[in-house]
Amino acid sequence: MTVPFATSARSTVGLEWELMLADGETGDLVGRAPEILPTLEERTALERYTVTGELLTNTVEVTSGIGDTVEAAVEDIADAIAAVREVSNPLGIELLCAGSHPFAQWYDQQVTDKTRYHTLIERTQWWGRNMMIWGIHVHVGVDNVDKVFPIIHALSAYLPHLQALSASSPFWAGERTGYASNRALVFQQLPTAGLPWPLRDWSEFEQYLDGMVRTGVMADATEVRWDIRPAPRWGTIEVRACDGMSTLPELAAVAALVQVLIEHFSRELDEGRELPVLPPWFVRENKWRAARYGLDARIIVDAEGKQEPVRQHLRETMEQLVDIAVELKCAREFAGLETTLTQGASYARQLVVADAADGDLREVVHHLIREFRAGPTLREHLAQLG
């Protein structure tokens, strides 16, 4: 099977953000996407951004256009959210985002009426129905198909950093899980999800797809749901490992980290240097540690087994790559990572709210709604950073 990799401008950025729809009073999920999407699709048909449905009717996804900078992509997302609010506000529908809803039950949710979604649920059954998960996807353009898998494997060493920064699913169906990101471990139960296979090059990826399509596991490359995957149609590497971010500045910061890392690895390849790769058993262990402990995780940072706190290693990485962030014009968004490191990721904030409310998870949902609605806009956040 031949799978062409589209031409894409190097290090351009595209963002996707899955948002929950909730009742403004109870905080419970509401399956009203089919009600609001026709109006939104009509109003936004000529915009750079899109607003679409997802697996469950309680979700809408906002997608940016192709941004030359993180700021441009995030502005598209902000415009898309504003468009959604014009339709959702009069209906009493609130927006929020986290890797999971604190107390919603899977059996109360409705699957969007599309063949691909019904096929997924028919095949995956209980696990598929339990996919009450929300995430972000960050696309970054790659200028040469031969770079794709070396970069994916090098980037896998930074999955725990990205997962810890975005971790926002400490609750599941009303229970405190003990994990910072329960979503990370639930999502990998799908048969084509989880960590990327250690394929050496694009031809091996084509062989992989050929086998998976011939045996009926998937229809095409869009059904590869790895934590980091190639997106042949767009000519990008797509990072899908992150929980849904709870605020726009956090989304911008994580997007900047992904963009900077991919550009760094691309430059290393241009210089003829081999990219460092962790053994897959270390990558898997790091994923579990980040899911369990979030920003308090101690991760394995090299092939020899050296370990460091993820916060410390992330700050070291930021120091090493800040010049690239300046060149890519995302230095202020990149600096926003420090806010999460010092103030805590969404999972930690949710736990504080739950403790203060004696475990009332409705208060956690209202906290997430307030954060999403009243938290600083990206422009305000960047102004505070100077």
AA letter at 58: N
For strands 193-194 and 225-226, give the pairing.
parallel
Q: Cα separation of 47 and 64, whole Å? A: 10
φ and ψ at residue 63, rounded to 5 degrees: -130, 135
Mean pLDDT for the chain?
94
Query: Which pLDDT band holds residue 120 (cuts at 50, 70, 90)?
Result: confident
Stretch 355-367: mean pLDDT, rounded? 97
Q: Which CATH architecture has domain 13-385?
A: 2-Layer Sandwich (3.30)
pLDDT (tens digit, 9 = 90+) per residue, 163-204? 999 999 999 999 999 999 999 999 998 889 999 999 999 999
Q: Cα separation of 35 and 134, whole Å? A: 20
pLDDT (tens digit, 9 = 90+) per residue, 208-254? 999 999 999 999 999 999 999 999 999 999 999 999 999 999 999 99
**In a 3-state reduction of DSSP, which class is residue 139?**
strand
With a cut of 60, say whether residue 379 has pLDDT above it: no
Task: Tell me what pLDDT residue 383 has.
Answer: 52
Q: Between 129 and 75, whose confidence is greater? A: 75
Comparing CA positions, the residue from 264, 285, 290 lying closest to residue 275 is 264
What does DSSP assign to residue 328? T
pTM: predicted TM-score of the whole model, two decimal places: 0.95
